[in-house]
């Protein structure tokens, strides 16, 4: 399988920068006329995939909204993941996994292994236990042509205090935690074969990058570090500001939206996706 970075670059080139979130929240299911059950979550996911196929490069199922239904929810998620990949969409499992040693290896086996019931193209991961602790998942992703998106500067305001904290030791003394993660992830892409690496960052569109000491021009590469950018729509950032916010890094960045398009309902979601894509392209 081609490296995730190569596949991401090709998908963005042909279908733009929009990533559609699949979030079967209770309120969304009700608005779509679906039961708040695993079956309802599966049905919503399949309908979103049908609306997204051929129109956007990627979808991002939020694992928590399936997991809340237990085993039946994971069964529904398996169907959604398989259907999305069969439809030619890149699938980012938003699970935010993070651990050490064999435990993280187990998460990697679940999400990043070809043929696994939960196989995705990329997985969001939490670096709180140290970037070095992610090495097993990084190696597995590279081996299997998969990707990772590492949390660095998130779009929730509660994250600023810890992400802006200053490192006190090592060769990055005085650098913010978020900026340190960005540099560590960039180094993981140094040997990328193509113009875009496979190990990416989660950088929220509402984050204060200058205050965090993050240089987005550096993220642009070469090679470019892919970015998953939540925070558009209900969280405050506007799609029209996508390129002004991300600058040179926009070429390998996915703007993630969920409620913005899901709130359109089952009969207008195609129009909402097309409108959001056009706004990004403009």
Helices 71-86 and 38-52 pack at an angle, to 10 degrees, of: 10
CB 226 within 8 A of CB 37: no
The token pair at 104 is 């993280």
The token pair at 25 is 């929240």
Coil, helix or strand for 229? strand
The token pair at 96 is 């935010």
Write phi, then psi, for 221 (nearest 5 degrees).
Answer: 90, -160
CB 123 within 8 A of CB 92: yes
What's the half-sphere exposure (Cβ side, CA atoms, 13 Å) at 45?
A: 34
CB 146 within 8 A of CB 115: no
CB 212 within 8 A of CB 153: yes
Tell me, yes or no, if 96 is annotated catalytic.
yes
CB atoms within 10 A of CB 173: 10
How many angstroms separate the most distant Cα atoms in the chain? Answer: 55
Task: Using only the alpha carbons of the chain, give its radius of gyration.
Answer: 18
- Residue of 30, 60, 96, 146 marked catalytic: 96
Residues with a known catalytic role: 96
């Amino acid at each position: 399988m081609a490296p995730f970075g190569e596949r991401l670059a090709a998908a963005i080139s042909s279908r733009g920068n929009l990533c559609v979130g699949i979030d079967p929240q209770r309120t969304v299911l009700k608005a779509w006329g679906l039961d708040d059950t695993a079956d309802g979550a599966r049905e919503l996911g399949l309908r979103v995939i049908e609306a997204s196929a051929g129109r956007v490069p990627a979808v991002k199922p939020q694992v928590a909204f399936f997991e809340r239904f237990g085993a039946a929810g994971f069964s529904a998620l398996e169907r959604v993941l398989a259907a999305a990949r069969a439809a030619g969409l890149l699938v980012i499992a938003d699970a935010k996994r993070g651990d050490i040693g064999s435990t993280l290896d187990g998460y990697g086996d679940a999400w990043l292994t070809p043929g696994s019931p939960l196989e995705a193209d990329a997985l969001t991961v939490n670096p709180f236990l140290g970037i070095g602790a992610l090495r097993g998942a990084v190696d597995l992703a590279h081996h299997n042509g998969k990707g990772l998106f590492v949390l660095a500067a998130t779009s929730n305001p509660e994250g600023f205090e810890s992400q802006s904290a200053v490192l006190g030791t090592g060769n990055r003394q005085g650098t913010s935690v978020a900026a340190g993660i960005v540099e560590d992830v960039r180094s993981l892409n140094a040997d990328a074969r193509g113009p875009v690496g496979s190990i990416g960052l989660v950088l929220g569109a509402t984050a204060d990058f200058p205050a965090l000491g993050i240089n987005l021009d550096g993220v642009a590469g070469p090679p470019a570090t892919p970015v998953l950018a939540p925070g558009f729509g209900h969280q405050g950032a506007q799609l029209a500001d996508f390129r002004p916010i991300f600058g040179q890094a926009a070429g390998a960045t996915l703007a993630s939206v969920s409620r913005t398009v899901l709130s359109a309902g089952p009969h207008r979601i195609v129009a909402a996706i097309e409108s959001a894509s056009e706004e990004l392209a403009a």
